[in-house]
Chains A and B, each alone.
Chain A
Amino acid sequence: MTALRRLERAVDLDHGDHVAWAYEDRADLRTVLADTFTEAAGRGEQLVYVGNRHPAALCDDLADLDGRDAMLENGRLRLHSIAELYHATGRFEPRAQVETFRAEAQRAVSAGYHGLRVVGDVTDLVTDAAGHAAFVDYELALEAMYAVTPVTGICAFDRHRVGEQWREIAALHRLQRAVGQEPGFALTYASGAVRLFGELDASSAAEFRRLLDAVLAATTGVLEVDLDRLDFIDVSASRVLAEARETMACANRDLQLTGVRRAAVLPLAAFNLHGGAPR
């Protein structure tokens, strides 16, 4: 599993890569689309762009993509509205949506494509406060699916509309882009284990707490937290783990730490948290 990475451009992406991209304006989004779809087309992948606007407007976003019209014509490039793809049943269903993308990727491979590259402008999903928990659940499931499916995805957000929530959503991705505002860490969940990447400190403890709470709410039984890919953790973030342990203990659940590096031992031990060393 790759480490946390900050991107300058939406290129050099491979299957399994899951990117959070906070775009500054429409021109920034157009550059992202042109960069990543040009790379994907060159690799023989199928391209999907999802956005919450009229198809003609989505098409305009792809104005900088060479061969756009031909790819739309021959089916290599497909456009979907948010409503069409995410709200087909009238409400956003995270697990069903992840299955949709998994099936899309398999269909693309069956049709002879090298894989699937998806860019979704999910600004409206992120800003929908009522659907926030579902969206976090969706991103966690998406990350797990990406790890075993020939798909590459970019979740794009309008940084100015999303505001501070951006950092929390971005932290669900191991590849991040938001000039000077990246959360600095990533959290993934699969097979009963949370994996942490990057650096956790007082600046990111609040986002870390909310995401960990979301995982706790969505799971049962023992939760493993793997710190092997975490480059730094301070007292603030260790406190979040201590609080999670307390919450779980009240529900007769156990939190187990693994991959604890030497530098993490003291801040964790300050809360009587201990765990296995890196493998």
Chain B
Amino acid sequence: MLADSSWTGGGLVHEVCLYESDADLRARVVPFVEEGLAGQQPVFVVAGAGVHALLHDHFGARLADLALLADADETWVGAAQTLAFYRDALRQRLQAGTPCRLLSEPTWMAQAWGAAWSRYDAVANELLAGQPCWTLCLHDRRQVPQPLLDSALRVHPYVWDGSRTAPSPHYRPTDEFLRSVEPPWSPPPASRDCQVVAAPAEARSLVASALPAATEEALRDDVTLAVNELVANAITAAGTAEVSHWRQGDAMVWEVSDAGSGMHAATAGYAPPPADQLGGRGLWIARTLADEAVVRSWGPGTAIRLFFPAS
């Protein structure tokens, strides 16, 4: 068991609180923020209107002491970039070893486009591993669909049980969770179009010729850039890349494979590298642009599938 007052920054605490009343919310949020301010720990808040109203009501002028007070809907810029926002917001304090608290209410999970957040929330376990950060994630049971609430319980190592923060019996390691929610890796159809390329420009030409003429320009740009980045990485790793594409239900699948040394981290590409690190952005961009992205590595060799809406 963890008690707020006892935490002084000894590693990451990633906790979920599923609430269904203002009273539930108040019971968890107020002590979390109060303990942080009392301990002179920077408190970052990204939340919906209900939490903002509660905080204003309870803390009044003391809200000026928060390190960040932001509206969740205004913060959302897509799952990949929102995770990067959190990482960048906390980075300076965490690097200095300062224990931080993050109160996050991802209100976007009540919307269809926010479903992917569960994976990025899972990746936060790796992104903030070992950091002196207590992240409390709030979900309104009345708003968020049950499957996403179930996922929330699986990606958070700790859960608020109504009176205390305790290890979650539902928690699954990040890579296991990601594998369970990503599209299944089925064999590609024999009829797929497949071509070996030795330069990114060849891959872009392939995309240009493969997409139907009526494809919207924005989708065309997204597919082109995403495939380009994967091919550039593959060529760096192995000299050439194999590019395949096929239709799968309502999705257009693009697969880029190579015979390089492999990429075995299930979390690869979910978060961009820090701003001062110049490499490692290609897969992150591909993930950002695609509806889904799945990575498989075996021995030497990697294949990455991107799923886009079929135009």
Residues of A within 8 A of B (CB): 184, 199, 201-203, 232, 234-236, 239, 242-243, 262-263, 266-267, 270-272
Task: Give chain B interface residues in 252-311, CB to chain A under 8 Å.
Answer: 272, 275, 278-279, 281-282, 284-285, 288-289
Residue of B224, B232, B235 with most partner-chain A CB within 10 A:
B232
8 nearest A-B residue pairs (beta carbon): A263-B221, A202-B232, A270-B281, A201-B200, A235-B281, A239-B278, A203-B199, A235-B282
A248 CA to B99 CA, complexed, in Å: 35
Residues of chain B within 8 A of A242, CB atoms compared? 278
A199 CA to B232 CA, complexed, in Å: 14
Kindly report which residue of chain A lies nearest to residue B289, judged by CB atoms.
Answer: A266
- 22 example contacts (A-B, Cβ-Cβ < 8 A) are as follows A184-B201, A199-B201, A199-B204, A201-B201, A201-B204, A202-B200, A202-B232, A232-B224, A232-B225, A234-B200, A234-B225, A234-B229, A235-B285, A236-B232, A262-B221, A263-B221, A266-B225, A266-B289, A267-B285, A270-B285, A271-B278, A271-B281
Q: Does B38 contact A (CB under 8 A)?
A: no
Mask, B190-231, CB within 8 Å of A = 1, is: 000000000111001000000000000010011011001100
A276 CA to B224 CA, complexed, in Å: 22
CB B123 to nearest CB in A, in angstroms, measures 17
Kindly report which residue of chain A lies nearest to residue B272, judged by CB atoms.
Answer: A270
A236 CA to B280 CA, complexed, in Å: 10
Q: Does B236 contact A (CB under 8 A)?
A: yes
A236 CA to B285 CA, complexed, in Å: 12
A270 CA to B283 CA, complexed, in Å: 12
Q: Do A232 and B281 touch across chains, with their CB atoms under 8 A apart? A: no
A184 CA to B228 CA, complexed, in Å: 15
Residues of chain A within 8 A of B199, CB atoms compared? 203
Kindly report which residue of chain B lies nearest to residue A272, judged by CB atoms.
Answer: B275
CB A106 to nearest CB in B, in angstroms, measures 40
Kindly report which residue of chain B lies nearest to residue A236, judged by CB atoms.
Answer: B232
* A232 in contact with B204 given A202-B235, A266-B225 (CB within 8 Å): yes
Residues of chain A within 8 A of B284, CB atoms compared? 270
- The count of A-to-B residue pairs whose CB atoms sit within 8 angstroms is 55
Chain B contact residue count (CB 8 A cutoff) = 24
Kindly report which residue of chain B lies nearest to residue A242, judged by CB atoms.
Answer: B278
Mask, B234-249, CB within 8 Å of A = 1, is: 0110000000000000
CB A265 to nearest CB in B, in angstroms, measures 10
Residues of chain B within 8 A of A202, CB atoms compared? 200, 232, 235-236
Residues of chain B within 8 A of A236, CB atoms compared? 232
Kindly report which residue of chain B lies nearest to residue A199, judged by CB atoms.
Answer: B201
A199 CA to B228 CA, complexed, in Å: 12
Known contacts A184-B201, A263-B221, A270-B281; 20 additional CB pairs below 8 A are A199-B204, A201-B200, A201-B204, A202-B200, A202-B232, A202-B236, A203-B200, A203-B201, A232-B228, A234-B225, A234-B228, A235-B281, A235-B282, A262-B218, A262-B221, A266-B285, A266-B289, A270-B272, A270-B285, A271-B278
CB B94 to nearest CB in A, in angstroms, measures 19
A242 CA to B278 CA, complexed, in Å: 8
* A267 in contact with B225 given A202-B232, A235-B232, A262-B218 (CB within 8 Å): yes
Q: Do A235 and B229 touch across chains, with their CB atoms under 8 A apart? A: yes
A239 CA to B279 CA, complexed, in Å: 8
Kindly report which residue of chain A lies nearest to residue B203, judged by CB atoms.
Answer: A201
Q: Do A263 and B281 touch across chains, with their CB atoms under 8 A apart? A: no
A159 CA to B93 CA, complexed, in Å: 55
Residues of chain B within 8 A of A184, CB atoms compared? 201
Q: Do A271 and B285 touch across chains, with their CB atoms under 8 A apart? A: no
Kindly report which residue of chain A lies nearest to residue B200, judged by CB atoms.
Answer: A201
A202 CA to B228 CA, complexed, in Å: 9
Kindly report which residue of chain A lies nearest to residue B77, judged by CB atoms.
Answer: A269
A249 CA to B289 CA, complexed, in Å: 31
Residues of chain A within 8 A of B229, CB atoms compared? 234-235
Residues of chain A within 8 A of B200, CB atoms compared? 201-203, 234
